[in-house]
Amino acid sequence: MMNLSRSVALISLFLLPLLSFSFSVDNPTDRRVLVLLDDLSLKSSHSIFFSTLKSRGFDLDFKLADDSKLALQRYGQYLYDGLIVFAPSTERFGGSLDSKSIADFVDSGRDLILSADTSASDLIRGIALECGVDFDEDSSAMVIDHSSFSVSDGDHTLIAADDLVKSDAILGKTKIEAPVLFRGVAHSLNPTNNLVLKVLSASPSAYSANPSSKLSSPPQLTGSAISLVSVMQARNNARVVISGSLQLFSDRLFRSGVQKAGSPNKYEKSGNEQFATELSKWVFHERGHLKAGSLVHHRVGETDEPAIYRIKDDLEFSVEILEWSGKSWEPYVADDVQVQFYMMSPYVLKTLSTDKKGMFHTSFKVPDVYGVFQFKVEYGKLGYTTLSLSKQIPVRPYRHNEYERFIPTAYPYYGACFTTMAGFFVFSFVYLYHK
Amino acid sequence: MLAVKVSTVLGSKTAALNVKLAQALSSGSKGSVINNQELKFDADSATYFLDSFPENFDVGKYTFVFEILLDESAQEKLYITEAQTKIPIAATGAISIENAEIAVLDGDVGSVESQKKLDLTKDGAVSLSANHLQKLRLSYQLNTPLGHVFKPHQAFLKLKHESQVEHIFLVKTSGKKSELVLDFLGLVEKLYYLSGKYEIQLTIGDASMENSLLSNIGHIELDLPERPEKAAQPPVQPTDPYSRYGPKAEISHIFRVPEKLPAKQLSLVFLGLIVLPFIAFLIGLTRLGVNIKSFPSSVGAATSALLFHGGIGAVLNIKALSLLGVFLSFVGHSTLSHLASASNKLKSA
């Protein structure tokens, strides 16, 4: 599915010269990004975030969310590779955009950053629900945390969160030291959904409620079940970031210092800028994107791929996996890539060893079961694209002349046979000519 | 200390002004705690300050209403944007927590079965047990620094089962103390009939509370009746994202073990045993004094005889069976008939 969408993008490269920049199989980082705002002042209040995106080569197109000329596609081709929706209070998008067209956008393999704020319209909630994220139903509720707030806030709604997901692919290799400031709505993840993941979680004492009115019943969302920022990687490797706070991306919180309540550490600069930058690198496929070459297999000692294997053959298997570094394809280094030799269920599962130059290889003996097998590489790692490769190969039994020729256990029987023959031969002489 | 800075719209310093805290309206009570308090001007920092608050100024949320009046000595034409500026202020303080205790009560009577005192400033290791006929009571007293009863915004008791299913209850404050009574008889269905160990966690917090706390009090073993068939299933819990991905266990194929064959030596021994009778046969023949004297001497007959025996040998080799069979029958017939005539001659002679 991903290949189809990427090849469509490639075709558009030739057919429509206007769309000269688009992501492709060879260059998976997004190029053109549509930014929907509900207020053009966001361009200046979030200028640092947008300028870091521009400096990394993204082509940002700012539009108001209710602009009547909005369109994601033209003549069946997508105009943008990524979409940023910073319009938490928009009830209806203008032009041809609606929650279904955004869902189709993600289905085509394109990426999305969606942010709610202290108010989230039903439209934004609906888009988030498609991705497995449930915002708090109470529209006046915000995340409140009386133990994990920023000391500069009197209301305890400016959360200083440091419960980040442990993933170098999503958040980069450098640890984010300072807490991330957050003020907005809470959301939880659908527990049956395997594709969503909490990137920034709330602390156990957080809860989602209206700060200016007393609680009459226990809140729906409390504790670490509250996610502040989540991501989803779809099966076609489209990436979605959903944040409960638009202020998290603002210049004011990027620049502000932070001190978490109860902690003596005072940080000059909050972790927001590093967090938002690293997350944008991940979501737009500058990091954590893998590509695999074709699977190569052959018998030990040969170089050509045979059309069929015989049982108990020794074979060698290798695959090349590359990682996109943002600018070029680098060899991927990992020790948990595995290959399965599979027919209805895996007969052999082996971990591949790498030569650190992108080639992963192993060798094993073909099982003594006949049938049509598949070499399967199904690789999934937190934050990385999923690789799903397979190659079919039949396995045959021994031919009649591939068995052992003479079996030592049968020597008595051979002996019996030959001595009988020899005895008869001698007898034939003796009987006839004895005198 | 309260410090207020007043500037012009563009941010520069103003002339002499009179800044007054007209009212401090508390969110809870109706009246104002502070009335018409004038703020003193500090020329060094250009701020107006109030260095002490009245004694009945308690913690809580307030709305301060400031009034700015022009000093009579002001000459220039100055305009004030708003007559009264309202600013929400949260006055924080440390709330004292006293008489915290947790108890298991027996049924309707309410008699205490087991009771433990709690220190909510740190995690405890209280261990209680109860069945569905009993009740759990948690009570404590929260007081402001001035001794008034304090009602926090957040007062949750969380019961978390071993299977990660969580339940949250609000602790209500009435009168002098805060109390929560959990009647397990009525809660059995809400708890999804899950018996076992529940961890107890108490969270108390408020915007005006400087010492908001989260305390893991301990755990309680609940013994609930069996789930009836129609009752709701507990909700699905999310899987740990770190364990979702990860290498699977290696599988290596176990090849079918070939049947166990006897040792090679054993086979050779039996080979020897088989050959033994043949050798015995040969020895027996020589003992009997067999000879091949009556081998025909004439060339034609000898050739046929040799071919005959050659043919037998070839047949024993099972090669070209059918042709040999035909050939053999001719040659055999000729040899054997020759032999028969020879023996006939002998008999007749």
Q: Which helix (H) or strand (E) holds A2?
A: helix A2-15
ipTM for the whole complex: 0.73
Task: Give the 3-state secondary structure of residue A433.
Answer: helix
Contact A105, A71 (CB under 8 A): no
CB nearest B316 (choices: A147, A364, A425):
A425
Going by pLDDT thresholds of 50, 70 and 90, the confidence category of residue A284 is very high
Q: Check CB contact under 8 Å for B92 and A154.
A: yes
The span from the CA of A213 to the CA of A314, in Å, is 72
Distance from CA of A262 to the nearest CA of B (A): 9
d(CA B300, CA B331): 11
User: Which chain A residues are closer than 8 Å to B253 by Cβ?
Assistant: 347-348, 365, 367-369
User: Above 70 in pLDDT, residue B60?
Assistant: yes
Q: How far, in whole angstroms, is CA A380 from its chain's centroid? A: 7
Substitution target from A156, A196, A365 for chain B, most B beta carbons within 10 A: A156
More confident of the two residues B296 and A107: A107
Domain A288-394 class in CATH: mainly beta
Nearest CA to A5 among A73, A95, A85, A100?
A73
Closest CA to A134 of A236, A210, A226, A217: A226
- Judged against a pLDDT cut of 70, whether residue B299 lies above it is answered with no
> How many Cα atoms occupy the beta-carbon half-sphere of A191 within 13 Å?
10
Cβ–Cβ under 8 Å, residues A122 and A99 = no
- The structure tokens listed for B338 are 């020759």
Q: How far apart are CA A140 and CA A185, in angstroms?
A: 9
CB atoms within 10 A of CB A18: 10
- With beta carbons less than 8 A apart as the criterion, state whether A349 and B250 touch: yes
Angle (nearest 5°) at CA A18 between A13 and A24: 30
**Per-residue pLDDT at B129 exceeds 50:** yes
Percent of chain B at pLDDT exceeding 70: 80
Q: Which residue has the higher pLDDT, A28 or B294?
A: A28
> Which of A111-115, A134-138, B281-285 shows the highest mean pLDDT?
A111-115
Q: Which residues of A touch B201 (CB under 8 A)?
A: 204
Query: Residues B4-21: what's their mean pLDDT?
Result: 70
Residue B325 pLDDT: 63
Is B75 exposed, middle or buried (CB count within 10 Å of its CB: 0-12, 13-18, 19+)? exposed
* Residue A359 host element (H or E): strand A359-365
For the residues A418-431, what does the mean pLDDT come to?
A: 79
Q: Mean of the pLDDT values across residues A140-163?
A: 87
Closest C-alpha to B304, from B313, B314, B296: B296
The amino acid present at B153, given as its one-letter code, is H
pLDDT in tens, B68-95: 777 666 556 666 666 677 877 777 888 8
Pick A146's closest partner by Cβ from B206, B250, B261. Answer: B206
Mutate which: B62, B154, B173, vs A, most A CBs within 10 A: B154
> CB B198: neighbour CB atoms within 10 A?
23
Please tell me which residue of chain B has the smallest CA distance to A421.
B316
Closest-CA residue to A85 (of A60, A115, A109, A106):
A115
Exposure string over B1-39, b if 16+ CB within 10 A, otherwise e: ebebebeeeeeeebeebebbbbbbbbeeeeebbbeebeb
Cβ contact, residue pair A218, B153, below 8 Å = no
Checking if the pLDDT of B152 tops 90, the result is no
Tell me whether strands A196-201 and A338-343 are parallel, antiparallel or unpaired.
unpaired
Size of interface A-B (CB pairs under 8 A): 176
Per DSSP, chain B holds a count of helices (H) and strands (E) of 5, 17
β-pairing, A59-64 vs A32-37, is parallel
* Dist CA B338 CA B331 (whole Å): 11
Q: Which residue has the higher pLDDT, A93 or B287?
A: A93
Token pair belonging to B206:
């408020």
Taking CB atoms and an 8 Å cutoff, what residues of chain A touch B248?
338, 349
What mean pLDDT value characterizes chain B? 78
Query: How sure is the predictor about B190, in pLDDT bands with cuts at 50, 70 and 90?
Result: confident
Q: pLDDT tens digits for B107-127?
A: 777 677 778 888 877 787 888
Of A27 and A349, more confident: A349
- φ, ψ dihedrals at A84, nearest 5°: -115, 120
pLDDT of residue B260: 83
Question: Which of the pair, B60 or A329, is modelled with greater confidence?
Answer: A329
Residue A253 above 50 pLDDT? yes
Query: Higher pLDDT residue, B236 or A375?
Result: A375
B chain contacts of residue A155, beta-carbon cutoff 8 Å: 90, 207
Mean pLDDT highest for which of A252-266, A298-312, B200-214, B287-301?
Answer: A298-312
Q: How confident is the model at residue B296 (pLDDT cuts 50, 70, 90)?
A: low
| Residue B136: how many other CB atoms lie within 10 Å | 23
Euclidean distance between CA atoms A190 and B120, whole angstroms = 33
pLDDT tens readout for residues A152-202: 877 788 999 989 999 889 998 899 999 999 999 999 998 888 899 999 999
Residue A3, φ and ψ in degrees, nearest 5: -60, -40
Chain A residue numbers with beta carbons less than 8 Å from the beta carbon of B256 are 368
**Lowest mean pLDDT segment, chosen from A43-47, A134-138, A211-215, A423-427:** A423-427
pLDDT of residue A101: 92
pLDDT of residue A127: 92
Which residue type occupies B305? A
Q: Is A30-282 assigned to CATH 1.10.10? A: no
Asked if the Cβ–Cβ distance from B275 to A415 is below 8 Å, we say yes
Task: Choose the closest CB to A146 out of B158, B205, B252.
Answer: B205
Query: B187 vs chain A: nearest CA distance in angstroms?
Result: 15
Rounded CA-CA distance A138/A120 in Å is 10
Cα dihedral across residues A105, A108, A113, A117: positive or negative? positive
Whether A423 sits inside 8 A of B281 (CB atoms) is yes
Task: Reply yes or no on whether the pLDDT at A19 is more than 50.
Answer: no
Provide the 3-class DSSP secondary structure of residue B103: strand
Give how far Cα B344 sits from Cα of A303, A434, B329, Å.
77, 16, 22
**Stronger pLDDT, A393 or B246, i.e. the higher one:** A393
Where would I find the H helices in A108-206? 122-130, 168-171
Burial classification of residue A273, based on how many CB atoms lie within 10 Å of its CB (0-12 exposed, 13-18 middle, 19 or more buried): buried
Chain A residues lying within 8 Å of B281, measured CB to CB: 423, 426
Q: Positive or negative CA dihedral for B110, B114, B117, B123?
A: negative
Give the pLDDT band of residue A20 (cuts 50, 70, 90): very low
Alpha helices in A75-175 (DSSP H): 99-107, 122-130, 168-171
State percent of chain A over pLDDT 70. Answer: 94
Give the count of beta carbons closer than 10 Å to the beta carbon of residue B226: 8
Chain B CA closest to residue A190: B238
pLDDT classification of A17: cutoffs 50, 70, 90: very low
pLDDT at residue B224 above 70?
yes
Q: What mean pLDDT comes out for the span B292-303?
A: 63
Q: Tell me which of B74 and B33 has the higher pLDDT.
A: B33
Note the pLDDT of residue A342: 93
**Residue among B246, B249, B292 whose CB faces A433 most closely:** B292
- Say if residues A257 and A268 touch (Cβ distance below 8 Å): yes
- With tokens 């809870």, the residue in question is B28
* Between A254 and B32, residue with greater pLDDT: A254
Average pLDDT of chain A? 88
Specify the 3-state DSSP secondary structure of B196: strand
CB contact set of B194 (below 8 Å; sequence gap of 6+): B161, B163, B165, B222, B224, B234
A chain contacts of residue B211, beta-carbon cutoff 8 Å: none
User: What average pLDDT does the segment A57-84 reach?
Assistant: 91
Q: For residue B177, list its beta bridge partners.
A: B174
The domain locations on chain A are 30-282, 288-394
Closest-CA residue in chain B for A346? B251
